[in-house]
Every structure is written in C-alpha cells, then in structure tokens.
Structure 1
Amino acid sequence: MADRMLQFVRLSQAQPEKRGVGERRKDFGEIYREFEPAAAAQQASRCSQCGVPFCQVHCPLSNNIPDWLKLTAEGRLEEAYEVASATNTFPEICGRICPQDRLCEGNCVIEKGFESVTIGAVEKYIADTAWERGWVTAPRAKAELRQSVGIIGAGPAGLAAAERLRSRGYQVHVYDRHDRAGGLMIYGIPNFKLEKEVVVRRWRSFEQGGIRFHLNCAIGRDVTLPELRERHDAVFIATGVYKARDIGGEGAGLEGIVPALDYLIASNRDNLGDTVPEFASGALNAAGKRVVVLGGGDTAMDCVRTAVRQGAASVTCMYRRDKANMPGSMREVANAEEEGVEFMWLAAPEGFEGADGHVSGVRAVRMHLGLPDATGRQQVVPIKGSGFTQGCDLAIKALGFDPEDLPAMFGEKALTVTRWGTVKVDHRTMMTDLPGVFAGGDIVRGASLVVWAIRDGRDAAERIDAYLKEQAAPAAVAAE
C-alpha cells in the first residue's frame, strides 16, 4: 500500500481544471472539466488510509471513502464504483453538489498542513466512468413481491427509498406534482452545478428497473392520502419543503421581489427547453437588471451565479452576518466571487423602496456581531443610524424554506405535524401516527442537504421493509 497511498507528502491537492471565468459566465455548463484518469488516480493516492477515517465519520451516508480512494489509485475503478454505490444511491450527484468542504474534505486528517484529498471530484470521476462504461445497472429484484409502496415525492429521499425497495422486490409507485422526476435536483439546482442529464439518466434507469412514476400528480388534488393508503401496503412521504420564508417589511408587495425557488425553477425550466411565460416576460429573468439576493446559504449562491449567467447588470448578495459565519459552502462563495458577484456582509434588509409599483431598492441596516446566544452562535445587532438603500431592479429572497401544510394539502387531518410544520414521526421506525405511513427527508428534518435526504430515504426503505415483513408474517402463518 505504501507505494500507492499516503502520497500527500509529495503531491499537492489539485481539483479538476475549472473553465475560465469569462467562458463559464456565458453559459450554464458545469464549471469543472473532467478529471484525467492519471490525475484522478494521483489525487486518490494522497489518502492517508486513516485507522479512524473522519471523512467517513462525517459523511451522512457513512461512505467507505478510504476504500474507494485506494481502489481508484490502483486503477480498479469498477470495484471502486461498487463500493461507492453500496452506500450511496447517487454518487455522481453527491460528487457534484455535496458541500465537501463542510463534510468529508473538511474533516480530512491531512487537511491541516497538506490540504484535504479531493474526495468529491474523485467520487464524481468514479461514477461518471461507471456510466460511460456501462457498469451502472437498473435496480433489479431477485423475486417479485405482491406488496406495493407508494412514495410521495420524486426528490432524493423518495428516489433513494424507491431504489432500495424495488431492489427487494416491492412494487414501487412514485407520485410527484412536477412533470419530471428529481425534485430540486432538476428544478432547484442550476446546471452549472448539476447538469440535468445526470439526474435524468438515473430516473430512466429506475423506470427500466420497474419503478413506476406518476408525474403531474399532486396529492390532494389528483389523489388524496387516504386513497393512496387504500392502494398501497405502505406510503412514504418525501415531499421536501417548498414554502419560502418571507421577509415582510414596508414595500414587500412591490413587483420585482421574488422567492428564490420561483426564480431558480423558471431558469431551470428555460434551460430544459420549456416555455416559461414569467421568464419570457422578464419577471423572473435577471438580464440587464441590478440584482440583490437576500440570504447567505447555498440557495443564495445558486441565485447570484444564475443571475450572472443571465446577463445581470450587477449582482449583490446581502447577508446579515460576516463571511466566516455564512452557512453556504465556501467553495461556492469563492466561485461566485470569481464570477463577479459583490458580497455585502453584515447588512440586514428591513424593507423595500419602489417606483410605479416596482422595486427600486432594498432598505437595509448595518450589523455587528455581538455575544453568543444559547446555541453558541454570535448574535447580530443593528448599528444605530446605519441605514442605507441598495438600488435594485430585482430582489430575490433566499431566506430558507418551511414545510407546506400537508394535512390540509393531502386531505388527511389525522397526519400529525410538529410545531414547525414538519411531519411528526417516531424516529426509531420513521412511521407517522398513521399506521403504514412513513416520512423522511426535509419534510421531517427541515431544509437540509441532498445527502441527508438520500440517507433518510435509504433508512426509510429499511424501516418499511421491516414493517411489511412483519405485516405479512401473520398471513403466512395462517396460510400454513
């Protein structure tokens, strides 16, 4: 092993080459070029093969990262893919969009002093190679089971559960209100981070494996939850959270103030070739406009970088804390800065100004960081007399997401939710108060990462499998 691994002492960290800023500002293509095989093997060989791999410990999926890095360094890519896909339903997606700087790479043992192993880029390389060489197969069941499972939501949690359950032989039906499977992976995340063909090919593979998709099907409008419970032996709720948090304040109703998700969905649909009236009219198009994005998370970074590509006159990100306290990926912040986004730190919006019914500026106040609160995070305190107005023609609110009112939406008042509006479950079984109805992903934990949604989906599949086997046991005994 020594001659292949632990090469961090002589090899520097290197990410795949980025396309030039001038080039990538003009289109929505992914910004990183493909890893050359030799470069990927070299970067994988930098792994120190820790006895206690903190990269794996801090991965929500507990991916066996040291093993697939070693296999990549040795050129055994098919085996590397088998190891990576054993714990991760979508390694090609996580390799692209996971905030590795906060998870695996941020906890790499060699990070202090030698810089971390480029785990995400190698994961992407392994999975993309697997697709190119035909190693990725559709989920196949060893034996078909009569029991069926209905899954509400075709996002990462729902799809991860669907793949696991189908592999065990269940009849799996996925319901989604949109016209494509993928959830926010299709409509929320821009192409420059995740090209849509990457998601579509998984969706098609799942269809080939016998997973049945019911798209343009809204629960509560086209079918109710009680009806789904009649159709299926178990139901898994994996809707995610889509309700945008609002800022309110004076002028909040002016035209030109839009939720982040509406803006991103319009852009992604346009890139997919759909007709989007709000985009064509300019209401959800940043071209030629002064854009201000409110918020500091990954969604805010998606918005500012999308606005740059749409040809905005200027793009400003306004965040009430400083750069060190920003919740978004620092890698994404760096990419945005390279592409010309201006960051306005320690500035909190208070309201909006307008002319002729349209927004013309964001009224804000300067902030400073005070004493830590009960969570240990520094409080933000307004500075008296520091108010100012930042001119804009389009204000995008990227302040986070809350759950929709699922009991009312689904036509099932008995579905219990928490005081935050998330679905209440028994965390040991992932089952709601309704027998046979399970829930997971953002609709239970609140807005979070794709990788956590995948973890929840896979865990839910285990719990559902155990539940269905338990339900089937008395019938089997009676038949004997």
Structure 2
Amino acid sequence: MNLTEEIKQKAKYCLNCKNKPCQKACPIETNIPSFIEKIKEDNIEEAYKILMGNNIFSPICSTICPQENQCEGSCTRGIKSTSVEIGELEKLVNEYAKQNGIIYNIEKHKTNNHKVAVIGSGPASLSCAYELAKAGTNVTIFEKEEQLGGILRYGIPSYRLNKNDLEDIINKILNLGISIQTNCEFGKDINIENLKKQGYETIFLGIGARNPTTYMLCDENLKGIYTSDYFLKIFNQGKKIENLGKTVIIGGGNVAMDCARSAIRMGSKEVLILYRRGIENMPARKIEIQKAIDEGVKIVPCTKVISAKGQAGILNEIECVKTEVIDGKVIDLENKNYIMEVNTFIFAIGLSPEKQILEKEGILLEKGLIVVDENGKTNLDKVYAGGDVVESKSTVCKAIAMGKNTARGLLKEFDNIM
C-alpha cells in the first residue's frame, strides 16, 4: 500500500459528525472533519493546506500531541469501536506534502505599525509571534539560548520530534520579517521597563518553566546528579555525559521517559524509572511508557527515593522506600527501606517558573504561575503571557493555542487603537 492509499484508507472511517467533537477537543481547534473530508475527495493537498492554515506547527503536533486525550479521545466512532487515527492521518498528510514538494504559502498583511516584544521562543512564543507577524506587526523575539525553539529544541529529543521539521517551521515564521536577539535573558539582559523604553508597546512573556523541582534529599552538587532539563539539553545538543553507569530517574511523565530513553542512547548500562505510585497512574502517554520498556528501561512502581549519598563528591547510592496508595495518598511503608547502588540520578518531577524574576517585575502570581485573563493579559498594562509560565505542565498543543489566542486578542486591541 502506497502513502496515498494508506491515507485514504484511514480517512474513510471518519463519520464527519456535524457537532465535531474532535475539533472541540483540540486546543488549537483544527477543523478535523474538513481536512479528512478533503482526503476522501482525493484532495490531499487541500487537506494539508487546511492543517497548515490553522496550525503552522502541524508537522510537530501530529507526532507529539496526546491525541488519545484530545481529538481521538473525543471521536464519536470511538464510543462503540476504534477512534479514527487522527494523529496518524495528520502525520501522513504532512509526509505526503513533503514527498510531493507541496508548499504552504503564508499570506502576510500590510504593516500595522505596532511593535511587540516576544520573550522566549518555545511553542507559545513562536505561535504568538507568527500570528502577530502574519498580521503585519513588527515583532522581535528575545531568546536566552543560542537557537530558537525552547522545549521543542532543547527538551524533546530528536527521536520523538524531527528537528528538521522544527527548523522548517522556525524559518517559515522568521521569513515573515521577525527580528531575533539570542543569548538575551529576561531578568538579566532585558526587563519590561527597558523594553518599553525601546519602543515596544506590548510584551509577551513565554519564558516557560525553567526552575527544576527537586527536594532536599541530597547534596545536589554530587557528581552524577542531574535535573531533567539539564540532562535533555545536553542530549539535544548532541553532547554526551560519560560513564553514566546505572541510571535512576524519578518521575512518571513524558520527561522521565525522555530522560530514560536518552540515557540508553548515551550508553547507560542500566536504566530504571522509580515512581511513587503504580504504573497505571503515570501521567506519561502509554505509548511513551511502552517505548521506554521496549528499549530496556525498567519501571519500578510504588517506590520513593529518600536520600542520595556519595563518596569523595561522587554519587554512589540512593535510599528508597516502598510505598502504597491509600485513598489517593502515597504512604511510605514501614520497614520497607533499602539501598540501591547507582552512578547517575536524574530529577524528572517537574519545572516551575522563575518566581523571583517575575515578582521583581511586579507580575501577579498564583501558586508560582502568572495570572492571566482569557486573552493572556497579566496584571501589568500591555504585558501578556502564555505557555508553561501560565499553566503548569501544559502540552505543546495547549501552549501553541495560548500564543495564538493572545495574538488574536492583541490584534483586536490594535484595531481599536487604530
């Protein structure tokens, strides 16, 4: 079966529901029935244009979105049978476009004489910048790293996200005339006040969550202890940490799976993921858990790490305790402590925004996250925010939607000013 036949075969199962539950479940509101209908009409090129017209990140979303919790999870056909493979269809349509040299041309409107600073270059920031620039806004992206992409470049490994697709998307966005300043960190090199002095009337904060969550169970300066963001950044830069030996990761999300699979690729002899609840409670996608297991990762459920110790500044063991979940609470079991020899230990239990920097700017926070209204507006005049800095553990798809929604709100505001 060739690619065209495979696409059409998968598309035929769509019922083209009038109430479009799949579209309603998509954070970006992709018109799923319409793009699938175009496939049925033997017009895959038009299906591709529908996808890209709504979401420039379609090639990426098709591979990393948790469709089972979004579009496919709401598919009417899935009530009595198997859901339409929407994610796979989107992926195949993008592959078809690539193979057949189909180009999506972005229409840019005339300049609207507004100047916006977008801080950060993850999915929320890139999405916001794209929508604004497409509408003729003068946009500058400020990024603390050497390259744009945020979590898409430095967080999600290339075996899950095709970096060539990322480069292509970023180039499409920058070709709209967006300026960039890299190696420029918010709170250090720039702040809200000096950006406004430079003539930026509006600022979008998409700086993500960069503070790793750890807990005081050890001397974090011990050689062999890493945070997930540092470990994955090293891997995604094509670098390597030597002599990983036996690697233990704590956490149960997709990031923990990424760390484990990356450790294997770095040459770790043995990789274990310790999680304080059962495997069925892990927030990671089932497909990602299975891929990790298939690659040799061992999942150790109902286990918590109490402490980590070392000799001569080098990690050599962790103390663990078996746990039990009672009425939703994790309980440490008595006399169930044990020592495990390890060489590498990775925290993958979440990241949080840089609270001190945000509070210094006078931005209102709640539980460490920026408080925004339905349009992404913060308590500060002309300052907006989106992504992980607003919603803890946001998906890439939700971050893109936040950036897009904020940009649309800004454009309406600009129309009222003009």
User: What TM-score range do you get, normalising by the shorter chain?
Assistant: over 0.9
More displaced, 460-469 or 51-60?
A: 51-60
TM-superposed CA distance for 1:164, in Å, is 0.8
- For 2:103 and 2:184, locate their aligned partners in 1 and report how far apart those are by CA, in whole Å: 29
Q: Any conservation in 1 of the 2:3–2:96 contact (CA below 8 Å)?
A: no
TM-superposed CA distance for 1:112, in Å, is 5.0
TM-superposed CA distance for 1:347, in Å, is 0.7
Establish whether residue 242 from structure 1 lines up as the match of residue 242 from structure 2: no
TM-score (norm 2): 0.94
Aligned partner of 1:102 in structure 2 is 69
Aligned partner of 1:471 in structure 2 is 417
Establish whether residue 418 from structure 1 lines up as the match of residue 353 from structure 2: no
- For 1:169 and 1:142, locate their aligned partners in 2 and report how far apart those are by CA, in whole Å: 5
Letter of the 2:293 counterpart:
E
> CA separation of 1:186/1:414 partners in 2, compared to 1, >3 Å: closer, same or farther?
closer
Establish whether residue 263 from structure 1 lines up as the match of residue 219 from structure 2: no
- For 1:57 and 1:199, locate their aligned partners in 2 and report how far apart those are by CA, in whole Å: 26
More displaced, 101-110 or 86-95?
A: 101-110
User: Residue 396 of structure 1: which of 337, 343, 346 is its match?
Assistant: 346
Which whole-Å deviations, capped at 9, do the CAs of 1:413-443 have from their partners, x for residues lacking one? 3432324222222x13422222111111111
Letter of the 1:267 counterpart:
F
User: Residue 365 of structure 1: which of 288, 300, 321 is its match?
Assistant: 321
Aligned partner of 1:297 in structure 2 is 253
Which whole-Å deviations, capped at 9, do the CAs of 1:371-429 have from their partners, x for residues lacking one? 1xxxxxx2211111111223211011000011113636xxx83432324222222x134
More displaced, 72-81 or 144-153?
A: 72-81
TM-superposed CA distance for 1:288, in Å, is 5.4
Match of 1:101, SS state, is helix
Establish whether residue 379 from structure 1 lines up as the match of residue 329 from structure 2: yes
Aligned partner of 1:335 in structure 2 is 291
> CA separation of 1:414/1:188 partners in 2, compared to 1, >3 Å: closer, same or farther?
closer
Letter of the 1:367 counterpart:
T
Which whole-Å deviations, capped at 9, do the CAs of 1:258-284 have from their partners, x for residues lacking one? 1001000001011xxxxx5xx3xx3xx
Q: 1:159-178 to 2 correspondence within 5 Å?
A: 159-178=126-145
Establish whether residue 323 from structure 1 lines up as the match of residue 279 from structure 2: yes
Aligned partner of 1:210 in structure 2 is 177
Which whole-Å deviations, capped at 9, do the CAs of 1:275-304 have from their partners, x for residues lacking one? x5xx3xx3xx4x551111100001001111
Q: Any conservation in 2 of the 1:233–1:468 contact (CA below 8 Å)?
A: no
- For 2:106 and 2:182, locate their aligned partners in 1 and report how far apart those are by CA, in whole Å: 20
TM-superposed CA distance for 1:138, in Å, is 5.7
- For 2:9 and 2:322, locate their aligned partners in 1 and report how far apart those are by CA, in whole Å: 47
TM-superposed CA distance for 1:213, in Å, is 1.5
Which whole-Å deviations, capped at 9, do the CAs of 1:223-278 have from their partners, x for residues lacking one? 322111232121111111111000221454422111001000001011xxxxx5xx
Q: Any conservation in 2 of the 1:369–1:381 contact (CA below 8 Å)?
A: yes
Letter of the 2:368 counterpart:
G
- For 1:390 and 1:448, locate their aligned partners in 2 and report how far apart those are by CA, in whole Å: 33
More displaced, 245-254 or 208-217?
A: 245-254
Q: 1:13-412 to 2 correspondence within 5 Å?
A: 36-112=3-79, 114-137=81-104, 139-230=106-197, 231-270=199-238, 279=240, 282=241, 285=242, 289-371=245-327, 378-405=328-355, 407=357
Letter of the 1:391 counterpart:
E
Which whole-Å deviations, capped at 9, do the CAs of 1:166-223 have from their partners, x for residues lacking one? 1111111111111111111001000000121111111112222211121111123333
TM-superposed CA distance for 1:364, in Å, is 1.3
Match of 1:114, SS state, is coil
Among all aligned residue pairs of Structure 1 and Structure 2, give the percentage whose two residues are the same amino acid. 29
Which whole-Å deviations, capped at 9, do the CAs of 1:322-361 have from their partners, x for residues lacking one? 1111111011001111111100011111111323322122
Aligned partner of 1:5 in structure 2 is none
How many residues are treated as equivalent by the alignment? 417
Q: Any conservation in 2 of the 1:320–1:345 contact (CA below 8 Å)?
A: yes
Letter of the 1:401 counterpart:
L
Aligned partner of 1:21 in structure 2 is none
Establish whether residue 440 from structure 1 lines up as the match of residue 386 from structure 2: yes
Match of 2:335, SS state, is coil
Letter of the 1:187 counterpart:
Y
Letter of the 2:264 counterpart:
V
> CA separation of 1:198/1:394 partners in 2, compared to 1, >3 Å: closer, same or farther?
same
TM-superposed CA distance for 1:469, in Å, is 2.4
Q: Any conservation in 1 of the 2:244–2:344 contact (CA below 8 Å)?
A: no
More displaced, 121-130 or 343-352?
A: 121-130
Match of 1:163, SS state, is helix
Match of 1:387, SS state, is strand
- What runs of 5+ residues in structure 2 fail to find an aligned partner? none
Q: Any conservation in 2 of the 1:138–1:208 contact (CA below 8 Å)?
A: no
Establish whether residue 452 from structure 1 lines up as the match of residue 362 from structure 2: no
Match of 2:360, SS state, is coil
- For 1:161 and 1:152, locate their aligned partners in 2 and report how far apart those are by CA, in whole Å: 10
> CA separation of 1:252/1:218 partners in 2, compared to 1, >3 Å: closer, same or farther?
closer
Which whole-Å deviations, capped at 9, do the CAs of 1:16-52 have from their partners, x for residues lacking one? 9xxxxxxxxxxxxxxxxxx822112211222232333
